[in-house]
Amino acid sequence: MAFSKLEYIWLDGYKPTQTLRGKTKVLHDFSGNLEDVPMWNFDGSSTEQAKGSSSDCLLKPVAIYPDPSRKSAYVVMNEVLNADGTPHETNARATIDDEDGDFWFGFEQEYFLSDPETGRPLGFPASGYPAPQGPYYCGVGGDSAFGREIIEEHLDICLEAGLNVEGINGEVAAGQWEFQIFGKDAKSTGDEIWIARYLIERIAEKYGLVVDWHPKPLGDTDWNGSGMHANFSNEFMRETGGEENMKTICEAFGDHIDEHIAVYGADNDKRLTGKHETQSIDKFSYGVSDRGASIRIPVTTKEDGWIGRLEDRRPASNADPYKVAARIIETVNGADIQ
Asked if residue 82 and residue 173 are part of one domain, the reply reads: no
Residue 31 sits in a domain of what CATH number?
A: 3.10.20.70
Asked if residue 156 and residue 39 are part of one domain, the reply reads: no
Asked if residue 321 and residue 205 are part of one domain, the reply reads: yes
Phi and psi at residue 253, to the nearest 5°: -65, -35
Residue where a domain terminates, one of 56, 91, 126:
91
**pLDDT(290) > 80:** yes
What pLDDT score does 26 carry?
98
Q: Which amino acid is at 176?
A: Q
Residue where a domain terminates, one of 91, 112, 147:
91
Asked if residue 299 and residue 168 are part of one domain, the reply reads: yes
Residue 291 lies in a domain: yes
Across 72-86, 184-198, 272-286, least confident range: 272-286
What pLDDT score does 222 carry?
84
Q: Provide the pairing of β-strand 286-288 with 176-183.
A: unpaired
Confidence band, pLDDT 50/70/90 cuts, at residue 1: low
CA distances from 87 to 49, 168, 240, 325 (A): 12, 34, 36, 18
What pLDDT score does 100 carry?
61
Does residue 318 contact residue 215 with C-beta atoms inside 8 Å?
yes
Residue 96 lies in a domain: no
Residue where a domain terminates, one of 91, 125, 143:
91
Asked if residue 211 and residue 168 are part of one domain, the reply reads: yes
Percent of the chain with pLDDT over 90: 88
Q: What are 124-159's pLDDT values in tens digits?
A: 998 889 999 889 999 999 999 999 999 999 999 999
DSSP assignment of 24-89 equals: EEEEES--S-GGGSPPEEEEGGGTTSSBTTB-EEEEEEEEEEE-TTSTTEEEEEEEEE-TTSSBPT
Asked if residue 126 and residue 20 are part of one domain, the reply reads: no
Number of structural domains (the chain) is: 2
Per-residue pLDDT, averaged over 179-197, amounts to 97
Local structure of 326: helix, strand or coil: helix
Asked if residue 142 and residue 54 are part of one domain, the reply reads: no
What pLDDT score does 239 carry?
95
Q: What are 15-61's pLDDT values in tens digits?
A: 999 999 999 999 999 999 999 999 999 999 999 999 988 899 999 99
92 by Cβ neighbours in 10 Å (0-12 / 13-18 / 19+) ranks as buried
Residue 212 lies in a domain: yes
Where do the H-state alpha helices sit in 168-229? 186-206
Per-residue pLDDT, averaged over 241-248, amounts to 96
Residue 99 lies in a domain: no
Does residue 203 contact residue 153 with C-beta atoms inside 8 Å?
yes
**Domain span at 21:** 3-91
Helix axes 321-334, 243-254, angle to 10 degrees: 120
Across 83-97, 104-118, 183-197, 270-284, least confident range: 270-284
Asked if residue 80 and residue 146 are part of one domain, the reply reads: no
Residue 113 sits in a domain of what CATH number?
A: 3.30.590.10
Asked if residue 249 and residue 111 are part of one domain, the reply reads: yes
Asked if residue 110 and residue 81 are part of one domain, the reply reads: no
Residue 14 lies in a domain: yes
Asked if residue 115 and residue 75 are part of one domain, the reply reads: no
Residue 7 lies in a domain: yes
Residue 98 lies in a domain: no
Asked if residue 213 and residue 283 are part of one domain, the reply reads: yes
CA distances from 16 to 89, 143, 164, 230, 262 (A): 14, 35, 28, 20, 11
Residue 23 lies in a domain: yes
